[in-house]
């Protein structure tokens, strides 16, 4: 059980990459909007899509953690 707890904790590192990626994407989107406020709509759409794809990586990590908790006993 102890080793598994460490493994589950390490899965949480997947959040690191997703957080960095989302922060970078949002920063770029803010920059783009401040340069060209009239393109706000399409930038927002692209940001949402990129956010979804970024966030999926963190969700996969969470999924692996859940699977470890529930099925590896």
In sequence order, the 6+-apart residues with CB closer than 8 A to the CB of 36 are 43
Name which of 33 and 64 has its Cβ closer to other proteins: 64
| Closest to other proteins by CB, 34 or 41 | 41
Closer of 31 and 56 to other proteins (Cβ): 56
Q: How far apart (Å, rounded) are the C-alpha atoms in residues 13 and 16?
A: 5
As measured in angstroms, the least distance from the Cβ of 52 to other proteins is: 4
Q: Which residues bind other proteins (CB under 8 A)?
A: 48-49, 52, 56, 59-60, 62-63, 66, 70
């Amino acid at each position: 059980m102890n080793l598994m707890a460490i493994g589950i904790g390490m899965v949480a590192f997947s959040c690191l990459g997703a957080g960095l990626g989302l922060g970078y994407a949002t920063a770029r989107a803010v920059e783009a909007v401040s340069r060209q406020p009239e393109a706000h709509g399409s930038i927002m759409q692209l940001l949402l899509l990129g956010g979804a794809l970024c966030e999926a990586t963190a969700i996969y990590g969470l999924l692996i953690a859940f699977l470890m908790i529930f099925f590896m006993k």
